[in-house]
Amino acid sequence: MKFVSPNCKNCRARENSLFSFCQVRETEQLNAVKTANLYKKGQYIFYENAAPIGLFCINTGAVKLCKLSSNGKEQITRIARPGDLLGYRSLIAKTTYTYSAVAIEDTAICLIPKPEFFALIRNNSQFYEGLMQLLCKEADEMEAKIGDIAYKPVRGRIAEALMLLAGAAKESGYITLTREDLASLVGTVKETAIRIISEFREENLLEVDKRRIRILRPEKLMQISNLYD
Amino acid sequence: MKFVSPNCKNCRARENSLFSFCQVRETEQLNAVKTANLYKKGQYIFYENAAPIGLFCINTGAVKLCKLSSNGKEQITRIARPGDLLGYRSLIAKTTYTYSAVAIEDTAICLIPKPEFFALIRNNSQFYEGLMQLLCKEADEMEAKIGDIAYKPVRGRIAEALMLLAGAAKESGYITLTREDLASLVGTVKETAIRIISEFREENLLEVDKRRIRILRPEKLMQISNLYD
DNA sequence: CGGCTGATTGAGCTATGTCAAGGGCAGTGG
DNA sequence: CCACTGCCCTTGACATAGCTCAATCAGCCG
């Protein structure tokens, strides 16, 4: 299989990432030290509890971030996409990874080794600040998610997740997540997720082609997502 | 009511806070610019969605951080105590507060105005780094909480929360949280929380005196907290 | 002695999880 | 090109944790 290592200079993923703060020279340096890798669907990029080795930047594809709970179930905390950075929290806090990262499509990812990452935050204060803001945003989102899971019924959470996924799903507008992954993303089980999707289909809020889902009535779903008991 | 504004120099709360990174001179400056305030139990320190005005540092007492969900229920995300800093996320991300802060005991809090906060992170890189690590830690905790709420049964979550609260409850070892607040902290309702506490009492895992709870068998509770289905 | 706030307890009800049994599509190997 | 195998997806039947509503009780304060 032919895989051309992406060049940071003209990397589209870089543009909507924190690396947009980098100067041309820095970008060239990054390009020189980074290593690129292709992960097949289902392959692990890194494991929960492992020691971090660097900063990952997703080039193409999609990755699920998940933790294993003691009852053996997998909880997906987020779906990461091109331009998203992975692993910085563990690097900064000097801890092990708090979640695993698994490719859910064939995915290309670049890795910036630890030393270069730290050099970057030392030398580029804009990048540093950006990272800090990213952390805050991430925290805000998680905080919101806690509220959701605690009080929003599954139906609403699924509606919400579908909206988010559709927004993130580039051109196509198709959501290709597995029902199981979708369930795990909103904190429920496969069967419940399926039933609710079926309801939405019957109400013509979305259509299902093979496994893929396409939203038809975003407004309606949005409304359901905000509707409580 | 007599309230002596605390002095940063010999503030016990400061010692287990990020401000421990400050030099003597910085501490003196902080002391000069800060304003101290006493909040009665039940009083709001700041409101969700309001614009941040500075960094809060809890001196004595306890504060609940909570969000209102559309169905009118309050979700408590965390209980903050002396030494804890509040509001930095909104300052850094330049957003409004994502939660409200309410005193659950009579509480003394100092406020460092926005400009001085930014001056601090500009000039003290240790403080800056510490703040970053704090953010990471906070994010980790929330991530864990998401997993908990999604998959851990209420019984386990209550056990866990009790352990945490007991740990944080200074000397006394008494947990004084309202049943309602406890419920909201673990994402359930008052009645369910009460029933589970009663069970624990019957099993002699804790004792209840008036409203106050004291843990008797931490090991057991710990075990329950990790026990799934 | 009221009146209040919070704690309890009981009795249903229901959303959601669990278990079980197919069904369809896609990729593989003969 | 067909049959086989292995995912997923789907649906039904059933069980139950946890929510709601409602009534009562226990401190506490003026």
CA dist., res. B36 & res. A108, Å (int): 52
- Do residues A221 and A215 lie in contact, with contact meaning Cβ atoms separated by under 8 Å? yes
Bridge pairing between strands A107-113 and A35-39: antiparallel
Which amino acid appears at position A138 of this protein? E
Question: Is A152-225 a domain of CATH 1.10.510.10?
Answer: no
Where does chain A hold its CATH 1.10.10.10 domain(s)? 152-225
Residues of chain B with pLDDT under 70: 1-2, 170-171, 228-229
- Residue B112's pLDDT is 96
How much is the pLDDT for A161?
Answer: 97
What pLDDT does residue B170 have?
67
- Asked if the model's pLDDT at residue A3 lies above 80, the reply is no
A229: pLDDT confidence band, cut at 50, 70 and 90?
Answer: low
> Per DSSP, which regions of chain A are E strands?
35-39, 44-46, 54-60, 63-68, 74-80, 85-86, 100-103, 107-113, 174-175, 206-209, 212-215
CA atoms within 13 A on the CB side of A161: 31
- The residue ranking higher by pLDDT, A104 or A22, is A104
Q: List chain B residues with CB under 8 Å of A150.
A: 69, 75, 149, 187
CB contact under 8 A, B149 and A147: no
Is residue A135 within 8 Å of B139, Cβ to Cβ?
A: yes
Outline which parts of chain B fall under CATH 2.60.120.10. Answer: 8-138
- Between β-strands B206-209 and B212-215, what pairing exists: parallel, antiparallel or unpaired? antiparallel
Task: Supply the pLDDT for residue B21.
Answer: 87
Buried (b) or exposed (e) across B81-116, using 16+ Cβ within 10 A? bbbbbbbbbbbbbebebbbbbbbbbbbbbbbbeeeb
Using DSSP's 3-state secondary structure scheme, residue A227 falls into coil
Percent of chain A with pLDDT over 70: 97
Nearest Cα residue to A146 out of B117, B65, B22 = B65
Q: Which residue is nearest to nucleotide D26 (CA to C1')?
A: B210
Q: Is residue A54 within 8 Å of residue A111, measured between CB atoms? A: yes
How far apart are the C-alpha atoms of B187 and B206, rounded to whole Å?
A: 21
Name the residue of chain A whose CA is nearest to B148's CA.
A69
Q: Which CATH architecture has domain B8-138?
A: Sandwich (2.60)
Q: What does pLDDT average to over chain A?
A: 92
- pTM across the whole model: 0.91
Predicted local distance difference test score (pLDDT) of residue B3: 74
**List of protein residues whose beta carbon is under 7 A from strand C:** A 153-155, 187-189, 191-192, 210; B 178-180, 190-191, 194-195, 197-198, 208, 211, 229
Q: What is the pLDDT of residues A168-197, one digit of tens each?
A: 876 678 999 999 999 999 999 999 999 999
Tell me the C-alpha distance between A55 and A79, whole Å.
Answer: 17
| C-alpha–C-alpha distance, residues A77 and A98, integer Å | 11
- In the DSSP assignment, the letter for residue A9 is G
For residues B200 and B35, give the distance between their C-alpha atoms in angstroms, rounded to a whole number.
43
**Residue A104 in 3-state DSSP?**
coil
* pLDDT at residue B5, rounded to an integer: 82
